Amino acid sequence: MGTGTDDQLGFVGSFRAAAPYVHAFRGRTFVVVFGGEVLSDGQFVALAHDLALLNSLGIRLVLVHGARPQIESCLTTHELGPRYEQGLRVTDAAALGAVKEAVGRLRLEIEAGLSMGLANTPMAGAGLVVGTGNVVRARPLGVRGGVDYEYTGEVRSVDAEGIQGRLDAGEVVLLSPIGYSPTGELFNLRAEEVASAAASALRADKLLFLVDAPGLTDINGQLQRQVGLEEIRQVLAVRRDLPEEIRLHLRTALSACQAGVPRVHLVSRHRDGAVLQELFTRDGIGTLIAADRYEETRPATADDIGGILELIEPLEADGTLVRRGRERLEAEVDRFLVMERDRTVVATAALYPFPDAEAAELACLAVHPDYQGQGRGDILLTEAEERARDWGLSALFVLTTRAEHWFRERGLKEVGLDALPVGRQGLYNLDRRSKVFWKDLSA
């Protein structure tokens, strides 16, 4: 077998690392939001390539576009000055005409960009079909603070069934910041509100915003990779230095998560391939806002012993795990990791170091039956690997009688008993005949 160049090997490694995400995202619904600046700044062609790739991987896409710079330009062309009150555009009849003109032209440009299919380009053979329609219902914002916003509106409802039908047909759905009323009127909407309402109605798996900033940064300018809802509330309450765009997106993310969207991402529109890097790498490049931050993985404490026992005792009873008992567990609790969800231990694993062999043993991996099949075992395995690396160890091994395929699928390879550290060989239970699986952490 050839060795290949460093660039080739790097590509292969990256491609393989993305494979778990490819499998996980197939059939999922993602809502992607971008402003009109993406088109006015010439960034849409590259974005269209990436969207076509997502579509080809079986991801169901709903795109929501803004049109602020195009509307401003159209107003200027017609010698109409923009008017804002409390951060919202006041849309009178003349301004509505400019909105319809700008949004209509922009929508056609987006559809044209998604229709590209030239040979020797990333869009070759993509064959994207763009679905449109009057699926966003709106109502007037009305008079607020003594200001009549006229044709500026707010989302009333989203026709989720209509959108799902288009997604089922393999179409990419495109939504504009325009809503329709039962009286036949049009209303100018915020793209962020349209996106949040659509993601909530569709029970979308992800809502992604392409923004000017790298994401949410702390007061020292450091990017915040992942934050929970309570952290978002605190940031909105105390941070006066937030750019208005980020503040708006954080509020929208909070609303979407509270309405059932589990993940919201903020990624830079200025970084080529940002969506792909955010979705298909472990750490991403932007900010992930997680609705279920009340679930966390952490070292176990004495207070967790009861919860750990509830998880492992049924597995000890049927022979899946070696019996420990409360006394041993109390002595070894500092070796355990737990995954706590709303103050309940739903998964656990233990890690025992063997420094002389530069290896660690993963043991007692257990997930509550109600939470199996959702990736929690993978999270614990990854956490164990990272902890072993932090200890300066270069390998991870596990002994199992029931889960050999699970470990094989995650890159562990079966080895002989002689591969075990000498100290662990002496503790091997011949009656259980456990198989040994090994992973090199230095690769």
* Digit-coded pLDDT (tens) for 172-202: 999 999 999 988 999 999 999 999 999 999 9
Task: State the angle between helix axes of 93-114 and 68-77 in degrees (0 to 180), rounded to the nearest 10.
Answer: 130
- The closest of 347, 350, 349 to 368, measured between CA atoms, is 347
The answer, yes or no, to whether residue 37 has pLDDT greater than 90, is: yes
Helix axes 160-168, 191-202, angle to 10 degrees: 80
Question: Of 296-310, 330-344, 358-372, which range is least confident?
Answer: 330-344
- The residue type of 338 is V
Q: Average the pLDDT over each of 55-64, 82-91, 301-310 and give the range with the smallest value.
A: 82-91
The whole domain housing 397 covers 295-440
Does one domain contain both 343 and 208? no
Average pLDDT over residues 5-21: 76
Q: Taking residues 7-29, what's their average pLDDT?
A: 82
d(CA 50, CA 263): 20
Q: 316 and 286, same structural domain?
A: no
pLDDT of residue 1: 44
Give the mean pLDDT of 275-298: 83
Same domain? 231 vs 318: no
Report the amino acid identity of residue 182: P
Q: Are residues 354 and 232 in the same domain?
A: no
- Confidence grade of residue 285 (pLDDT, cut at 50, 70, 90): very high
Domains contained in the chain, number: 2
Confidence at residue 263, expressed as pLDDT on a 0 to 100 scale: 92
55 and 185 in a common domain: yes
pLDDT tens figures, 423-441: 999 899 988 999 999 999 9
Both 252 and 335 in one domain: the answer is no
Residue at a domain's end among 232, 261, 290: 290
Are residues 335 and 328 in contact, defined by beta-carbon separation less than 8 angstroms? no
Residue 19 CB partners (closer than 8 Å, separation 6+):
none
Region of 217 on the Ramachandran plot (φ > 0 left; ψ -120 to 50 alpha; else beta): beta
The whole-angstrom separation of Cα 228 and Cα 295 is 10
Domain final residue pick, 290, 323, 349: 290
pLDDT (mean) for 297-319: 92
Same structural domain, 235 and 306? no
The enclosing H or E element of 390 equals helix 376-390
Same domain for 209 and 318, yes or no, is no
Which of 157, 275, 171, 255 lies closest to 215 in space, CA to CA? 275
Which of 261, 290, 319 is at the close of a domain?
290
Q: Give the CATH number of the domain where residue 431 resides.
A: 3.40.630.30
pLDDT band at 295; cut points 50, 70, 90 = low
The helix, strand and coil proportions of the chain, stated in percent and rounded to the nearest 5, come to: 40, 25, 35
pLDDT score, position 4: 61
Answer yes or no: is pLDDT of 443 > 70: no
Would 1 be classed as within a structural domain?
Answer: no
What local confidence, expressed as pLDDT, does residue 118 receive? 61
Residue 79 scores a pLDDT above 50: yes
Q: How many CB atoms lie within 10 A of CB 425?
A: 11
* Statement to judge: residues 259 and 322 lie in one domain: no
Same domain, 199 and 82: yes
Mean pLDDT, rounded, for 64-68: 95
In the block, which residue shows the tokens 């090997």? 9
Average pLDDT over residues 85-105: 92
